Amino acid sequence: MTNIGLYFSIGIIVIGLLAILRYSLKGKDIDRRIIFLFMFITVASSLLFKMEFPEKPTLIVKKVFNKIENLPEGSRILISFDFDPAMKPEVMPMANAFVRHCMVKKHKLYIMTLWATGQALMLESIEEVLKPEFPDAVYGEDYTSLGFKAGGVGVLNVIITDFRKMYATDEHGTPLDEIPLFAEVTSAKDMDLILPIGGGAPGPKEWILFVGDPGKVPIAPGLAAVVAPLIYPYYPKQAIGLLGGVKGAAEYESELLRNYDQFKDMDTPALSMMGPQTMAHIVIIAFIIIGNITYFRKRRMNDNA
C-alpha cells in the first residue's frame, strides 16, 4: 500500500519537474512559490510513505563514538543543550543518542544549558529518554542537571575555574555540595569529555574557545549543519571529532544500533529523517540543473537577438 503511494508521489514530482524543465527551455524563470510548493510536496510525501536508508559512519563521527565507548566506566561527561526548539529536529537526536550511550557505558552525566529555550528540551531528554530507558539511574549519583544560566561566555568563563560560584544549586534547588556527583568536581576542567550540542552562539565554538582550549578538556560537539563547516578547522586538535547535522546523528544512531542489542527498539528520529532529506536533496539538485539550463538558454537567446 505504502509503495503505491510512494511511487505515485514520486511520479507527480517527476512530472512536475519535467513540466518546469520544458518551461525553462524557453529561457523563462519560474515563480518561486512553485518551488516552495515542490519542497512541501516532496518532504510531506516522503514523510507519509516512510523511506529508510542504511548509514555507514564516517571517521569523524566514529571518533566521537569510540571516545565515549573507550572511556573507563564512571568517567565524567558533560552535555550542554545549547539549542532551541527551532534547531530541535536536527540536534535533539544527537543529544538523545549521547545520553543513551553515556548511560549504557555507566558514565556520570552532567547536564546543563546556556540557552533559556534549551531548558525545556533538556528536561524532555531526561524525562523521555533517560528516566524511562534507564530506570536504575539515580539522580545525583549517575546524572545531574544544572539547568539554565544566562550570560553565555560569562558562564563558561566562571565554570572553567569554579562550578559552585556559578551554580549555587542544581536545577531543583539542591545545593551542589549535597550532590554526590559534585563531591570531587571543582570546575569544568574535571570533566573527562564535554559534548556541547547546538548551532548558535553561545554554543560549541564558545565551548572550544572558553573551556576546551584553556582547560584542555576533550570536546566532541554535536552541531547543527549550518555551523558544522565552521567547526572543522578545530578538528582534530581542538575538537576530537564532531557530528554534523541529521546525517551525523543518523550515523551515530546506526553505530548505537550496531553495537548494543538493547537499543534495537529505540526510536531513531535521525535515521528516519534521512528519507525526506534524500528526496529533498534530489529535488534541490534538480532545481539547480533546471536553473542552469534556463540561464544558458537565456544567454543564448540574448546572443542571437
Partner 1 sequence: MKRLIPVLITSIVGTVLVFSVFFPMAETWGEDFSLFFDIIAVFAFFLGGGNLVRVHLIKVLNKKGDWKFSIVTLIAFAITLTAGLFKFGSVDIAASVTAEGTWMQTIFNNIIAPLSSTMYALLAFFVASASYRAFRAKNREATILLIAAFIILLGRTPLGMFMTGWIPEWFSIAQIPNLAVWIMNGPNLAGQRAILIGVGLGVVAMSLRLILGMDRTYLGSDHD
Partner 2 sequence: MLKHIIMLVLMVGLMTAVGWAQEEGTATDSVVQQTLAAPPTNVQAFDTPNDNGHSITIEWDISADDGQGLNNVVKYLILRSATPDGQFAEIGAATPGATTFKNSGVKDDEDPNYFPRETDFYYTVSAVTADGGAESEVVGPVRGEGQFFDTRNGPVLVGCLLFTIFTIFFIRKAKSGAKLYIRPLAGIDAVDEAIGRATEMGKPILYILGLGSAADIATIASFTILGRVAKKVAEYQTSLIVPCYDPIVMTVAQETVKTGYYDAGRPDAYNEDDVFFLTNQQFAYVGGVNGIMVRQKPATNFYLGKFYAESLIMAETGSSAGAIQISGTDEVTQIPFFVVACDYTLIGEELYAASAYLGGDPTLLGTLKGQDWAKAGVIISIILGIIAAVTGQTWFTELFHVGN
Partner 3 sequence: MRKAPIIITAVVAALFVLSWLLKSNGAVVDENSMSAISQGFWITLSAFLTLAVMSFLYQDNPFYKFAEHLYVGVSAAYWMCMGFWTTLVGNLVPRLSEGLSNWFEVPYVGFKPHFIIPLVFGFLLLMRLSPKGGWISRWSLAFIVGTTAGLNLPRFLSSDFISQISATFMPLLVNWQGIGSFFSDFSLSASGQFIGILSNLVVFLGVFCGIIYFFFSKEHKGAFGVASRFGIWILMITFGASFGYTVMGRISLLVGRLTFIMGDWLGLIS
Which residue lies nearer to partner 3 by CB, 150 or 305?
Answer: 150
- In single-letter form, the type of residue at position 222 comes to G
Torsion region of 216: left, alpha or beta (phi above 0 gives left; psi -120 to 50 gives alpha): left
CB 198 within 8 A of CB 91: yes
Q: Among 277, 286, 290, 294, which residue interacts with partner 3 (rule: CB under 8 A)?
A: 277
Shortest distance in whole angstroms from residue 137 CB to partner 2 = 20
Q: Which does 167 bind (CB under 5 to 8 A by kind): partner 3, partner 1, partner 2, none?
A: partner 3
Report if residue 257 touches partner 3, rule: CB under 8 A: no
Q: Among 86, 201, 289, 301, which residue interacts with partner 3 (rule: CB under 8 A)?
A: 86
| Number of residues this chain uses to bind partner 2 (CB under 8 A) | 22
Considering only residues 34-73, where is the footprint of partner 1 by CB under 8 A?
35-36, 38-40, 43, 53-54, 58-60
Report if residue 150 touches partner 2, rule: CB under 8 A: no
The pair phi, psi for residue 116, each rounded to 5°, is -60, -40
Q: Among 43, 51, 71, 104, which residue interacts with partner 3 (rule: CB under 8 A)?
A: 43
| Window contacting partner 1 (CB under 8 A); options: 98-106, 115-123, 132-140, 177-185 | 115-123
Report if residue 179 touches partner 3, rule: CB under 8 A: no
Question: What is the C-alpha separation between 258 and 252, in angstroms, rounded?
Answer: 10
CB 199 within 8 A of CB 231: no
CB 226 within 8 A of CB 199: yes
Shortest distance in whole angstroms from residue 74 CB to partner 3 = 27
Which helix (H) or strand (E) is 38 found in, with range?
helix 32-48
Q: Which does 44 bind (CB under 5 to 8 A by kind): partner 2, partner 1, partner 3, none?
A: partner 3
Residue of 28, 7, 76, 2 lying closest to 294 (CA atoms): 28
Between the alpha carbon of residue 108 and those of residues 57, 173, 192, 297, the distances in Å are 26, 20, 10, 62
Cell of 100: 543513551
- In single-letter form, the type of residue at position 121 comes to L
Question: What is the C-alpha separation between 240 and 221, in angstroms, rounded?
Answer: 9
Q: Among 74, 151, 180, 236, which residue interacts with partner 2 (rule: CB under 8 A)?
A: 74
Here's the x/- map for partner 2, 212-231, by CB under 8 A: it reads as: -xxxx---------xx-xx-
Here's the x/- map for partner 2, 164-203, by CB under 8 A: it reads as: xx-----------x------x-xx--x---------x---
